[in-house]
Every structure is written in structure tokens, then in C-alpha cells.
Amino acid sequence: MAVYLDCNATTPVEPSVAALAARFLEKDFGNPASPIHDHGLFARAAVEHARAQVAQVVAARPDEVIFTSGATEANNLALLGLAEAARREGRCHVITTAVEHKAVLEPCEELQRLGFELTVLPVAADGRFDPKQLAAALRPDTALVSTMQVNNETGVSQPLAETAEILSGHGAWWHVDAAQGFGKELAPLQNPRIDLIAVSGHKIHGPKGIGALVARKRDGFLPPLRPLMFGGGQEQGLRPGTLPTPLIAGFGEAAKLALRDHEQRREACRTFRAEVLRVFADLGARRNGDERHTLPHVLNVSLPGIPSDRAIHALKGTIALSSTSACTSHTRTPSHVLAAMGIPPELAECSLRLSWCHLTPAVDWNRVTEILRRLRP
């Protein structure tokens, strides 16, 4: 079996996460919304325990965590859920960046359809937006600013600390899509200026199908979100539906481990990275994204002359990798992220994304090098 190097798409589940999820599937199957007997009470206790574990990663309060099916739903709830309040206040301007995931760009397009004006900030060749351009784009009627923490294709971390400073004197709600950075880069998300944070369980060795929107309170009140679905009062009325206790307990455990083992995991990823960088430098690869701002578990490179799909196919027995985000890798659509960074199409078509984690086993890099050299025109 090929070594899995696609951890930005999804991560292997930690054994203790799987064990806990199994416990709540097989044995402790109560409904947390039925605390009228011990089965329900135990499920509710497990959900509240997980809520606190997730909150702790971003220095939030447990009552600021709203469980969702994943980061996509959390992004949608944050962006579309604020539309009514924004319109009521006469604020109809939204700012985002050109390198956001589709789970942000498409809700923003929906806001446009609803009558909001959208400003999309460009990024530089390093993969980052310029906070000065954000400052220039801000208007008195800006309702919402949506910026990602870490890019899913390049692993480049965005300037959140500078953004917080710019937004400190402005009333716009600030949403951060943290699907790729939650639990991997801690300090930026702990900034109290961030109003809304979308996070995902399966990117941090938790189960798929679970995530959360962290909605920080301002002056004791949650942002004025409206639910996108109706039919129950769960999650403070913002996300109806029976809570999936096995997934939530597993997500909580994954969040706990991400916090507890943060430094060891980063160190393991850095060690692995040194080897990957050496191999691709020897192959004459061109880096996509600024190394100084790239998280240690991701590398995006272009190998001129070797189309991505040929490389991925040739390497499939040795390493499993991708060329773009998991949500668009099955299509032939060119990467909007690399295009926004000014990377010419002929290089974007030769891009490879490698992403690993502390559980990644050793790779036969000699074999990888040999295969890629043979593909050279």
C-alpha cells in the first residue's frame, strides 16, 4: 500500500478517537436530548465534555461551540446566518479573499445573489493577502470579513494577527475558516477579535461528519446568527437535529490530543518536511507558497514538464498525494488558488500537494525520485 501523503484531504483517525466513537455507537447509545434517564444523561455529559475540549483549543467558552456536520456547514452557517442581521443594520458589504475554499466562496456568491456587495482581496505570489488591502477595502457598511487561517492547497498561513489589529476599531463580524489550521497552529485562533471560527473533526484525526462553528460572544451575546435549518432547539437553536454523540465524543478526543501533543506533532512534521524539501529541491521543483509562512506538514510544488495527473498516477504504488483540494481534485478545473498567486497555467498543471502528519510512516524517497525522473520530457 502506498504511503498516505494527503493529510490535507483527511487524516487517519487516532486509535483512542476510534475507540471512544465505538463506545458511543455500541454501548452508550443514548440521545443527549433525552436527559430523562441515565442513557441520555451520559450522552449529554459526553457532548458537553467534548464541547469544552473543542473550545479549549481556541480559548473560547464551551457555550460558544455549535456542533455542525463539518467546516463546510459551519462556514455556511457563519456567512449566510448573519445575512438577515446585516441587512437589518443596513450593512451590505462583505470582504473575502481569492484563495478561500469553495465552502466560503460559494456562500459569498450566494450573499451576492441576495444583494450584498462582495470584495475579493487578491493574494501575492507568497499566497497571502495583504492586510493593507483589507484596511483599504473596509467600509462603514462592511458587515462581514471572511479570511481563512491556513490555505488548503499551499499550507500558507494568512496574516490573522495583522487582520485583528485592522479590525479592532471596526464593527464588522470576522469569520475565519480554520478547517486546515485548527489544532495545528494554535495562537492565531485564540485571538479574541475573531467572532466566528469554522473547524472540522476529520482534519485533526477525528471522525468525518463532525465539525463546529465557534461563535465568540461580544458583550455577553453570540453574533446574531439565524439557523439555516429548522426542526429542533439543539445547539442553542442554531443547528437542529439529533446530536451524533459518537462523532462529537471522537471530535472532543481529537481536539484534546491536538492540544496536548501539539509540539511533538509539529516536530515530527518538521523532521519529515526536511526530507521532502531535500528530495524535491534535487528534482528542481518550484515551490508554490512562501516557506516562511507554510505549516510544517504541507508542501505544494510544481515539477515543470510533468503534468500532475501523470505524476500522481505513476506514484500511486509508492505515495498517495494530490494536486489540489480534495473537493475539486476529481475535476479538471485548474486551481483557483495557484491562479490567484499568479502561477502560470503550465506550472499550475504540474503542481503536487504533499501533506503528512505525525502518524506518517517512512517513504521510499529514492523510489519516488526514480519514478519522477523517468517522467521528465
Partner 1 sequence: MNALFQDLETATLEQFNERELPQWLADPLLEVARNPEKYGDREYLVEMLLAQVREYDVYADTGCCKWAYDHEDLKRTLGWLKEGE
Residues that bind partner 1 (CB under 8 A): 20, 23, 41-42, 45-46, 49, 52-53, 61-63, 256
Residue (167 or 212) nearer to partner 1, CB:
212
Shortest distance, CB of residue 152 to partner 1, whole angstroms?
A: 31
Shortest distance, CB of residue 63 to partner 1, whole angstroms?
A: 5
Residue (48 or 117) nearer to partner 1, CB:
48
Shortest distance, CB of residue 260 to partner 1, whole angstroms?
A: 10
Beta bridge partners of 129: 123
Residue (13 or 321) nearer to partner 1, CB:
13
Residue (45 or 347) nearer to partner 1, CB:
45
Catalytic one of 92, 327, 350, 357: 327
Residue (46 or 104) nearer to partner 1, CB:
46
Shortest distance, CB of residue 128 to partner 1, whole angstroms?
A: 37
Return the ∠ at Cα 366 (arms to 283 and 270), rounded to 5°. 75
Q: 348, 355, 311: which is closest to 332 by C-alpha? A: 348
Shortest distance, CB of residue 52 to partner 1, whole angstroms?
A: 6
Residue (30 or 81) nearer to partner 1, CB:
30
Shortest distance, CB of residue 23 to partner 1, whole angstroms?
A: 8
- The full length of the chain comes to 377
φ/ψ (deg, to 5) at 210: -140, 140
The yes-or-no answer on residue 357 being catalytic is no
Can you say whether the dihedral through the CA atoms of 366, 367, 373, 374 is positive or negative? positive
Interatomic CA distance for residues 293 and 150, integer angstroms: 9
Confirm if 301 and 287 have CB atoms less than 8 A apart.
yes
Query: What are the catalytic residues?
Result: 327
